[in-house]
Amino acid sequence: MKPAGRHRRIVLPTRAAIAVLAGLGLAAAGALGLGVPLALVAPLGTGLLLALLAVAALDLWRSLRLWRAGGLRIERRLPAAFAIGARTELKLALVNPGPLDWRLQMFDELDPLFDFEGLPQRLHIAAHSRSETSFHATARQRGMATLGLTQLLWRTRAGAFEVRERLGAEQQLRVYPNFAALARYAWLSGDRRLAQIGIKNFVQRGQGTDFRQLAEYRRGDPLRHLDVKASLRHRRPVVREYQDERDQCVMFLLDCGRRMRADEQSAGAGETSHFDDALDALMLLSYVALTEGDEVGAMTFGCEEHARRDCAPRKGMGTLNVLMNKMHDLQPGGHHSDYLDAAQTLSRRLRRRSLVIVLTNFRDEDSPELQPALRLLRQRHLVLLASLRETALGRIAGQAINDTDDAVAVASAHLLSQARHDAFARVVDHDRLSIDVEPQALAATLVNRYHQVKRAGLL
């Protein structure tokens, strides 16, 4: 937090003061027009003007003195962090310990990357009181955001001037990926309604290889899981329940190159960019894997050396905080993504067999580099290539056909979609684990694939 320090005060005449001066000028001009001698109008007009200026100056001096003596101050109550695209309430309290009340307008200096609602506000601060207000802000980009000072516009006691003050202190806050999806997943999983967000529930008794607990036998349970000793001890059939294997490793390779700069926000396709959707999916699957007892790590590629992030695989929910803090300000750059170099780097660092998830935006011309990289990774790891597909193709392919131009556009979209599907199938060697989906479906599809891998014991 940066202290407010000394800030330039801006003093402007009010509309009423300007109207009085204009009226005085018009009265003098009218008197001259009616034939009143200039020798009489000039001294009278000058005297009235000086008197008005003196009253205005006295009003300004007295009001500033009362303002300083009043000690009005600003208290902000901000969240610990923002989430991109999440509408967040910001609260302000104006404390007036002085004996006078004040009528003013308030405006908070937000970072240009924020959309806001509820500013400016007109407030009446009574004497010896505390007035609380709030407004809403929505972050449009991840990274560090600056909240500036609070601007107050108040009138002098006689209404001759408006004074603009800046109070409070600047604050730096982080804008994270939209972790609201994590909270919704946790709530829906506890209520067993994950199907609402497209995630399938694969809870099955008696599956997996890690022992979980003993349970009473139910019709349909495998007889091979019957525990004879426990059944004799409890005098009823008891079976061993197993769970999916734990202590496995999920490693993300996140593409930060120019392919990931695709952004359909201007077309109204979504509230976030493709890279933001990829980062949201990474965070959601990380949360799911960590709750399953697995290790999670991440490595970026396709960006400059100083911008690369490398998070070694770790267990525990604290790993999610590490990922958030290291990757919240990542932005895709304009560099070419070297898939083979990324695969070689990961192969040197990660010796343990893991589920490696490559998040990228595939193009057919990437095949000569992407195929060798996938083959290298598959020598030791289970690899899932997750590619983001533009929503424009699906939107055009599904539009109504009203004329020849529409027919050509729809046919072209279907042709391009099929060509992309064939190219993707070739580069992944028809691997059914890999996916090519629209950004909005990426998170749920990745979680479903992860559950399939766990259930099938592919690691």
Do 226 and 323 belong to one domain? no
Q: For residues 407 and 132, give the distance between their C-alpha atoms in angstroms, rounded to a whole number.
A: 58
Q: Which of 206, 217, 72, 221 is nearest to 151 (CA)?
A: 72
Entry pTM: 0.70
Do 238 and 275 belong to one domain? no
Do 236 and 358 belong to one domain? no
Do 273 and 322 belong to one domain? yes
- Residue ranges with strand state E in 39-170: 73-77, 82-83, 87-96, 102-108, 114-117, 121-125, 129-139, 143-147, 150-155, 161-167
Write down the pLDDT at residue 342.
93
pLDDT in tens, 62-119: 999 998 888 888 888 888 788 888 888 899 999 998 888 888 999 988 888 888 998 9
Write down the pLDDT at residue 146.
87
Do 410 and 449 belong to one domain? yes
Give the count of domains, the chain.
3
Q: For residues 355 and 286, give the distance between their C-alpha atoms in angstroms, rounded to a whole number.
A: 12
Write down the pLDDT at residue 143.
83
Write down the pLDDT at residue 5.
44
Average pLDDT over residues 408-420: 86
pLDDT in tens, 260-281: 887 765 444 445 678 888 988 8
% of the chain exceeding 70 in pLDDT: 87
Q: Which of 404, 407, 349 is nearest to 377 (CA)?
A: 349
CA angle 249, 253, 256 (to 5 degrees): 155
Write down the pLDDT at residue 148.
87
Do 224 and 266 belong to one domain? no
Do 116 and 220 belong to one domain? no
Confidence at 180, pLDDT banded by 50, 70, 90: low
Do 11 and 69 belong to one domain? yes
pLDDT in tens, 145-178: 888 889 999 999 888 999 998 888 888 888 888 7
Out of 237-251, 286-300, 412-426, the most confident range is 286-300
**Domain range enclosing 103:** 1-31+40-176
Do 1 and 124 belong to one domain? yes
- Which run of H or E residues covers position 383? strand 382-388
Q: Which region among 192-196, 292-296, 378-382, 441-445 has the lowest average model confidence (pLDDT)?
A: 192-196
Average pLDDT over residues 196-200: 52
Do 222 and 166 belong to one domain? no
Helix (H, G, I), strand (E, B) or coil at 215: strand
pLDDT in tens, 23-65: 988 988 888 888 888 888 888 888 998 999 999 999 999 999 9
CATH of the domain at 385: 3.40.50.410
Do 221 and 129 belong to one domain? no
CA distance readout (Å), 115 to 86, 90, 238: 11, 12, 59
Query: Is pLDDT of 194 > 80?
Result: no
CATH of the domain at 77: 2.60.40.10
